[in-house]
Amino acid sequence: MSATTIPGKHVDIRLWTQPETVEGQAMAQLQNIAALPWVFKHVAVMPDVHYGKGATVGSVIAMRDAVSPAAVGVDIGCGMSAVRTSLTANDLPAGLAKLRSDIEAAVPVGFAAHKAEAFTGRDAADWPTFWKAFDDLTPVVRRNEGKAHQQMGTLGGGNHFIEICLDEAKQVWVMLHSGSRGIGNILAQHHIEVARKLAHNQDLPDRDLAVFLAGTPQMAAYRHDLTWAQEYARRNRAVMLRLVCDVLRKQFWQVKFDEPISVHHNYVAEETHFGEQVLVTRKGAIRAGRGELGVIPGSMGTGSYIVRGLGNPDSFESASHGAGRRMSRNKAKQRYTRDDLIEQTKGVECRKDSGVVDEIPAAYKDLDEVIRNQDDLVEVVAKLKQVICVKG
């Protein structure tokens, strides 16, 4: 579909969804973003849009010489990784409980961490250089270096997951969703508080949208820490993906893997759009430059899509990061039961207890509709359906 334009105070809002489907709280948040004097051209809104802490999830915000740390959020570099294997559905055992258990044993979930460092030279060749940069991060995180080492290669909780999926040709894929773990959270919260206290942010329509300005020490410090945390998130996914693939190698000695796909969907990038260099914040959105592969997941019972970007300039070459929530976690817990979760995740080897009811498929938007609404942003490469889902 083509985007719908809504006037904003400083720039317009361009939505790849029907305006009437956007909840009032999210639309008010988008209007506040569009009122910021640093925002360039327009705010691009993806079809998975919903209200978010700091800024609207599913928004793409390009700024001239400014960036909002709360718009990026506390899970810096959160994103997706996926890899197609040489296995097919016929290679998998009839019962998948043991395979799920083996994955959970290999990758700590929730608040758990590795007892010893899990990253190796197989994941990257420059670990000493990467960790040496820890000394240059904002001092508030320095006492957490040991924890950062042990969380490298861990999943976390919430909507983070590891899945074994089948595409429509019954080929097996590994897919996972995670970010920069505790260290990214600490860095983000520190910089968000710094931004809120700056003089130029005192009269904003929403203090959560406080920004750092180019040429200031606060901006330099944030971008330094942000870049490191985004790299931490990328490496975290790479280590987890290797750990899961190692589980498959033990059970299926003949397995081979294609080149992995890895995309951030909470991050900042310096890019050129409409002839100008800008700082693009994708808050719950992936880059979808022409020919670039991406991953758009749904919920723990509905599957996901592998997509190829079409490079649409009006979206700042972006697409949605997932299906997007249609109700809050609290509302989902109030509305649905464990029995509902069991019914909606039939055929998936996964947790089916009350602790993950807030992740029930019905709490998310219709993924197929979300994909249809962005047919001018991406083309579908593969549709996946999970058979195993691991959650924290």
Residue 235: predicted pLDDT: 98
Which of 179, 182, 186, 180 has its CA nearest to residue 138?
Answer: 186
Mean pLDDT of 103-122: 97
**How many Cβ atoms are within 10 Å of 2's Cβ, its own excluded?**
10
d(CA 379, CA 309) in angstroms, rounded, equals 7
The three-class DSSP label of residue 108 is: coil
d(CA 270, CA 333) in angstroms, rounded, equals 39
In the chain, beta strands by DSSP E: 4-6, 12-15, 42-50, 57-63, 66-67, 79-88, 161-167, 171-178, 212-213, 261-264, 266-273, 276-283, 285-287, 293-297, 304-309, 318-320, 349-350, 378-391
pLDDT (tens digit per residue) in 236-266: 999 999 999 999 999 999 999 999 999 999 9
The catalytically annotated residue of 114, 149, 191, 321 is 321
Which of 301, 297, 299, 389 has its CA nearest to residue 345?
Answer: 301
Residue 242: predicted pLDDT: 98
By the 10 Å C-beta count (0-12 exposed, 13-18 middle, 19+ buried), 94 is classed as exposed
Residue 177 appears among annotated catalytic residues? no
**How many Cβ atoms are within 10 Å of 83's Cβ, its own excluded?**
19
> Using the 8-state DSSP alphabet, how is residue 179 labeled?
-
Which of 32, 35, 47, 36 has its CA nearest to residue 2?
Answer: 47
Q: What is the pTM of this model?
A: 0.97
2 — pLDDT class (breaks 50, 70, 90): confident
Mean pLDDT of 46-68: 96
- 328 CB contacts (<8 Å, ≥6 apart)? none
Mean pLDDT of 48-67: 96
Sequence letter at residue 20: E
**How many Cβ atoms are within 10 Å of 222's Cβ, its own excluded?**
26
| Tokens describing residue 221 | 């410090």
Instruction: Say what angle helices 181-196 and 217-251 make with each other, to 10 degrees.
Output: 160
Residue 375: predicted pLDDT: 97
392 — pLDDT class (breaks 50, 70, 90): confident
pLDDT (tens digit per residue) in 16-35: 999 999 999 999 999 999 99
Q: Is 1 a residue whose pLDDT tops 80?
A: no
Mean pLDDT of 140-155: 96
Mean residue pLDDT of the chain comes to: 97
The three-class DSSP label of residue 126 is: coil
Angle, alpha carbons 290-88-323 (nearest 5°)? 45
* Cβ atoms of 215 and 108 closer than 8 Å: no
Determine the number of helices (DSSP H) and then strands (DSSP E) in the chain.
10, 18
- 56 CB contacts (<8 Å, ≥6 apart)? 26, 29, 30, 33, 45, 49, 50, 283, 284
Q: Is 138 a residue whose pLDDT tops 90?
A: yes
